[in-house]
Amino acid sequence: MTDVIDLLAGLSAEGPLDAVRHRRSQARENAQRSFAALLEPTDDRGFTLAERYAVATFVAAVHGDDAAVRFYGDLLADEDSDLLATVLRAASAGLGTGPVGVYREPGLSDESIPVEAYGVPDAVVPVLGERLTAALEHTHLLVFRPRESSADALRRLVAAGWDADQIVSLSQLVSFLAFQLRAAAGLRVVSGSATRAWAAPEVVAAGQPHTTPAETDLVTEHDGIHRPEVFTQDGLGWVPWLAPVEREELTPEQLEALIEPARAAMPYFRLLARDPAALEARTLTDLDIFTNTDGGLPRAARELSAATASRLNGCVFCASVHAAFATRESGRRDDVQRLLDEGVAAELGDEQWNAVAAASAALAATPPALTETHVARLRDAGLDDAAIVDAVNGAAFFSWANRLMLSLGEPEVPARR
């Protein structure tokens, strides 16, 4: 089976990075399993292949990734030849940079970057239909404004005909694509094969969002919870806006997808268990990227990469977990806290950490902004290609994890659920 990340990155089986990627074979194999689960599912559960390929083509286009546009555009054209031009036109109205948006945390309001919400151009809505229109508008939110995700955003999907299982799969798909495109982009830069071949389509005007929130009991907004004020290394809880699978109702397939039985107590993982194939592949990818000790980047620096991406994207929950891990692994609490307090440009005490943070932030940006200069800085700081690919994987993976956490629920203080 073709490895899609290798394909998008232009890597060959004989190239120097092939052996590096094999050092994290579980991550490599399960990233491909994630592609299969989300884009070639054996049971689409009403989230059709045409819709999945349309979302993927849209994500590729607003990221400006020419290789991914060709790949996913071909899949979409094979499934629904009339839809490709319409999706690309919708994407051309949504080009921009990110992450942007308004923080819900009051202590971070000075960092908010308000922007107008994207709407699919009115002219193409009749071709897309209400359901796909809502999906592309939600996709644009997760790509560029993940920190503005909300229960109302999920209600808009419900109003357009999306059920809870499909919403989880849509969030997984968009978030996985954020990872996949960044992993491929990072590998292109590390291998020296990055190009600037993408030519953006002529920009057309976006409209206003086309769906209003539904009156529904499918989505729950939590009143009276104690939300965090700022980024922190303290433990946080997380509450979902969609109902997780009840613990006693988890099927054998869903229990196996959790990988670690203790996760059955966690609402986040029981919510993701609505799409068990995607959950299992994602979890195994995560574990290999961050816990495989076969060489590469030191564990503390991998956690730094995760915390940096989370800081940039505005995921207070993910940043709290992985900043604390970085502190635990390194003992450098003050340096880690400066990242949280001052942002991704903070001075972190030594050149290797500064280089990892700079590269991670650049890769997590939308579109990815990692360059040969970032990679040269990592090499000058003493990192080999295996360590650099670990940094790429860490930042890319948390471009996935952040969007899932932000799109399906919110953090609370203290961690009591």
CATH class held by domain 41-191: mainly alpha
Contact between residue 378 and residue 391 where contact means Cβ atoms under 8 Å apart: yes
pTM for this predicted structure: 0.96
Asked if 363 and 395 touch (Cβ cutoff 8 Å), the reply is yes
Closest CA to 411 of 319, 285, 282, 294: 319
Backbone φ/ψ region at 366: left (φ over 0), alpha (ψ -120 to 50), beta: beta
At a CB cut-off of 8 Å and minimum separation 6, what does 266 contact? none
| 237-412 and 41-191 share a CATH fold | yes
- What tokens were used for 147? 């920190």
**pLDDT score at 417:** 44
Tokens, residue 30: 């399960």
- Evaluate if residue 114 carries a pLDDT over 70: yes
pLDDT score of 90 more than 50: yes
Mean pLDDT score, 3-12: 94
pLDDT digits (tens, 9 = 90+) for 155-196: 999 999 999 999 999 999 999 999 999 999 999 999 998 765
pLDDT tens track for 14-67 = 788 988 998 899 999 999 999 999 999 999 999 999 999 999 999 999 999 999
The domain ranges of the chain are 41-191, 237-412
103 Rama class: left (phi>0) / alpha (psi -120 to 50) / beta: beta
pLDDT over 70 for what percent of the chain? 97
CA-only gyration radius of the chain, Å: 20
Q: Is the pLDDT of residue 416 over 80?
A: no
DSSP label at residue 264:
G
CATH code matching the domain that covers 237-412, chosen among 2.60.120.10, 1.20.1290.10, 3.40.50.2300, 3.40.190.10: 1.20.1290.10
Taking the alpha carbons at both ends of the chain, their separation in whole angstroms is 41
Chain-wide mean pLDDT for the chain? 95
